[in-house]
Structure 1
Amino acid sequence: MRLWSLHPRYLDAAGLVACWREGLLARAVLAGATVGYRRHPQLDRFRGCADPVAAIDSYLRVVLAEAGRRGYRFDGSKIGPGDDALRLTVTDGQLACERAHLLGKLTRRAAACRDALADPKTVEPHPLFRIVPGPPEPWERR
């Protein structure tokens, strides 16, 4: 499961679809609707919220909007309204790690998408996150 802290605009088509599907899986886990992936460490940042399902819905709303901007038709009825005021934190080290990971994926499957990630200083997080100084998350594979 990969719930990107990067803005979904950086994802290629395969990455955006995977993000949507994995986000829906995360939603099911957080809602208690499935037994798989219950201990997945990326879910901890959502579990720390007062309403974890609203938090993942807020995350997925942005993915849904990006899909719509590209002309894809993801089913928005699968998620709730979310919480527009909610903000989580992500470290600059985590963003750098995810940027490098995504660059590797794009090199293999969608080289044309790499340009948006060329300058690490201009890479934006998913709007749910605000950047704070720090290292990558301990659960991140490096």
Structure 2
Amino acid sequence: MPTYTITELAREFDVTARAIRFYEDQGLLSPSREGAGGRNRVYTPRDRTRLKLTLRGKRLGLSLSEIKSLVDMYESPKDTAAQMNRFLGVLNQHRETLEQQREDIEMTLAEITAHEDECKRLLAGLAEKQSTAG
């Protein structure tokens, strides 16, 4: 079975070794230890897959706890339908959050546009007063 070093995984997935160690601290990865005092981490294909799924979850905007829950769920193939339904639930909740954020952003952008228009109107008025007074 192939194994990977932290450097190899960091290079392959374009992340820092520090990020990989953080995911390990969060329980997402569990490499074995080798060498003097267990200083060298050795990652299995399972760890590589878990890292890949973690990074995919981050790109989707999921929290690390959501990612861990989903990744752990795939480790136990007891009830695939239940797992898929749970994943759909997480995705649905995340979609609702993102749609609310989009609505909030659109409202904020509309407010900014209104303030910009008002500032431009006031500046035009000041420029007109200065040109007639001078």
Name the structure with the higher helix share: 2
- Give the greater-gyration-radius structure (CA): 2
Report the TM-score when normalising by structure 2. 0.27
Report the TM-score when normalising by structure 1. 0.26
